[in-house]
Structure 1
Amino acid sequence: MANIIGAVTTSHIPAIANAMANKQEDTPYWKPFFDGYPPVRKWLNEKQPDVIVLFYNDHGLEFFIDKKPTFAIGVADEYHNSDEGWGIATIPPVTGESELSWHIANSLVEDGFDMTICQEMKVDHGLTVPLSLMWPGNNYGHVKVIPVCINCEQHPMPQPWRCFELGKAIGKAIESYDEDISVAIFGTGGLSHQLDGERAGIINREFDLECMDKLVSDPEALTKYSNLELVEIGGAQTVELNMWIAMRGALRGKVTELHRNYHAPISNTGSGVLLLEHEMPSK
């Protein structure tokens, strides 16, 4: 049986990749942010997960406003990161895991999730920045990745409760996979931020910290919010919390917090990282 060993939450701001490329991790602006990651990298290097299931949102690279699936999953053997409009540097492709991907996709459809299943798929900074953060130097090619994309850009968007249910269904699917592999779950994006309009720059630190607490101890409390409430509380892009909520839904056993860090602002965003250890539920 596949074993979900733990989970990580992280921001996926594109400026992070630029800071790493320009060796700015120890500058006064970036150091409090990057200081949160060594314990997570150490854990990943010790545990050596075979597969990462990574919840993220596409920012218009693969899915533009004319075609926007609510939920999508990649089932390819490889994923490439393309230019998102600012001349992004070429980075190594991301290794996929097609067998487990197809198992999850089939299980999700059987459980009532009408997924968009992508046999070819470009991935953007929402997926590649977290991988580069965990394996600096873009040294992530050894780990297989299953991308799960949630619409956080164009209304109507899935509500927090539905994203939590998606995570639960993915956790169930992984548990039923008859291979002895270890899996880690990544929830990316957020926390509170708004990048445009009259409220641009809003950050709700108190709410961000409360979300991090609830994600560990009472995740279902976060499913009581609507997307509109998240926007009102923390800004338009706070709906990216839904990727964290989906991640937490996949952890159906005992969860223990190992590490956390929160820093704001980073690129007008409240940025948090959590490392959670997971014990599989008993049969």
Structure 2
Amino acid sequence: MAEIVLGMWTTHGPTLSTTPDEWLLRLPADHANKAHWYQTGRYDFATLVEMRKSEGLAEKSSLDERTKRNAACRAAMNEMADVYAATGSDVAVIFGNDQQELFNDALMPAFTVFNGEAVWNEPSSDEQAARHPPGIHAAEPGHKPPVYTEYPGHPELANYLIGDLVSNGFDITRASKLPRLENHWHSGIGHAFGFVYRQIMRDQVCPHVPIITNTFFPPNQPTARRCFEMGRTVGRALKAWKSDARIAIFGSGGMSHFVIDEAFDRKIFDALAARDAETLCAIGEDWLQSGTSELKNWIAAAGALFETDLAGEVVDYQPCYRSEAGTGTANGFVYWN
């Protein structure tokens, strides 16, 4: 039977692919946003500054701190990439999300499994780059190759997983080709997957199955419990797969953003360490909105990994603040082997 030999949880946000100075390109948007998600409420920038004035966030978002935290993230990513390379996985399953890179209001599936022969990605055209929000295009080399590139899918495994998920009560959308949308800001696979290809696999991408979850966009976001159960079903199917493949499982996304909540992130780490499925499953939808919703990819990966013998610890956690309001992206890295 196949063997799950590696589990990895990683963030994938722009702070991991930009300089500490470039983090501040998002500040005008932070100030303009009147409805930042933070914990279970929505607040404007000034209100967040007042709410969090005792936390020392001006210092935590200083250039000196941004520089230190950026360097720490880079070191953690290098360690993750070294572990992936040393493990020598034959196959990967990546739980990620889509931020209207592939899907839009015309079609927004809850769960999609890619079962094609090849996943493609390419750099943005000048016209696409002009449509990017400030600070986003600068991060592109972290998740897009310099030229059009195809990466190997795994149709056999994907179809096996689709069949098993359907037989266990999951309604799955399948995609065998990536769409090329007209007049769209993006082309190719989403950044949740491209980041893993480039930063963790270092462009040495093994045959793999992307599982794409709609974490961001109401009203059909799967709950934390549903994501965990889906991941657990995938994990059980992988262990029963009649193959001698060595499998790596990734959860790509999170942690708290676009307003950082360190206590909430610690709750996630503690639940992973304790294999505490109920804590993860019980997280309400009001806590998992905006960028923080991507933690559902971590929860799905946890579902797949909790029933293995793998174990490990947190490589690092760096809350990468860019303002006294607490805006930014918290970055976390965990592997089990």
Range class of TM-score, shorter chain: 0.7 to 0.9
- Alignment partner, residue 197 of structure 1: none
- Displacement of 1:230 in angstroms is 3.2
Question: Are 1:230 and 2:296 matched, yes or no?
Answer: no
Match of 1:261 among 300, 313, 316: 316
Amino acid at match of 2:246: S
Per-residue CA deviations over 1:14-63 (Å, capped at 9, x if unaligned) read 453456xx9xxxx6562111111233222222210011100111111211
1:121-270 to 2 correspondences below 5 Å: 121=178, 122-136=188-202, 139-141=203-205, 143-156=206-219, 157-194=221-258, 202-217=259-274, 218-231=276-289, 236-251=290-305, 252-265=307-320, 268-270=328-330
Amino acid at match of 1:54: I
Aligned pair count reads 258
- Displacement of 1:167 in angstroms is 0.2
- Displacement of 1:206 in angstroms is 1.7
Per-residue CA deviations over 1:151-172 (Å, capped at 9, x if unaligned) read 0121121100000000011011
TM-score by length of 2: 0.71
Is this contact kept in 2: 1:76–1:98, CA < 8 A? Answer: yes
- Displacement of 1:132 in angstroms is 1.2
- Alignment partner, residue 281 of structure 1: none
Using the aligned pairs only, state the percent identity.
26
Is this contact kept in 2: 1:39–1:259, CA < 8 A? Answer: no
Per-residue CA deviations over 1:127-186 (Å, capped at 9, x if unaligned) read 0112211133xx224x11210000012112110000000001101111121010011110
Consecutive unaligned residues in structure 1, runs of 5 or more? 195-201, 278-283
In structure 2, C-alpha distance between the alignment counterparts of 1:63 and 1:151, rounded to whole Å: 9
In structure 2, C-alpha distance between the alignment counterparts of 1:91 and 1:130, rounded to whole Å: 17
Moved more, 121-130 or 102-111: 121-130
In structure 1, C-alpha distance between the alignment counterparts of 2:148 and 2:303, rounded to whole Å: 31
Match of 1:99 among 145, 156, 160: 156
Is this contact kept in 2: 1:2–1:174, CA < 8 A? Answer: yes
- Alignment partner, residue 92 of structure 2: 52
- Alignment partner, residue 113 of structure 1: 170
In structure 1, C-alpha distance between the alignment counterparts of 2:213 and 2:2, rounded to whole Å: 24
Is this contact kept in 2: 1:216–1:255, CA < 8 A? Answer: no
- Alignment partner, residue 280 of structure 1: none
Moved more, 3-12 or 82-91: 82-91
- Alignment partner, residue 199 of structure 1: none
Amino acid at match of 2:121: N
SS in 2 for 1:185: strand
**Pairwise CA RMSD:** 2.2
Amino acid at match of 1:129: F
- Displacement of 1:253 in angstroms is 2.2
Is this contact kept in 2: 1:40–1:259, CA < 8 A? Answer: no
- Alignment partner, residue 134 of structure 2: none
SS in 2 for 1:94: strand
Bigger Rg, structure 1 or 2: 2
Consecutive unaligned residues in structure 2, runs of 5 or more? 23-66, 130-136, 141-145, 179-187, 323-327
Is this contact kept in 2: 1:191–1:270, CA < 8 A? Answer: yes
TM-score by length of 1: 0.84
Per-residue CA deviations over 1:93-127 (Å, capped at 9, x if unaligned) read 22111111111111111111110011112411110
In structure 2, C-alpha distance between the alignment counterparts of 1:266 and 1:147, rounded to whole Å: 30
- Displacement of 1:220 in angstroms is 2.6
Structure 1 stretches of 4+ with a deviation exceeding 6 A read none
Is this contact kept in 2: 1:14–1:125, CA < 8 A? Answer: no
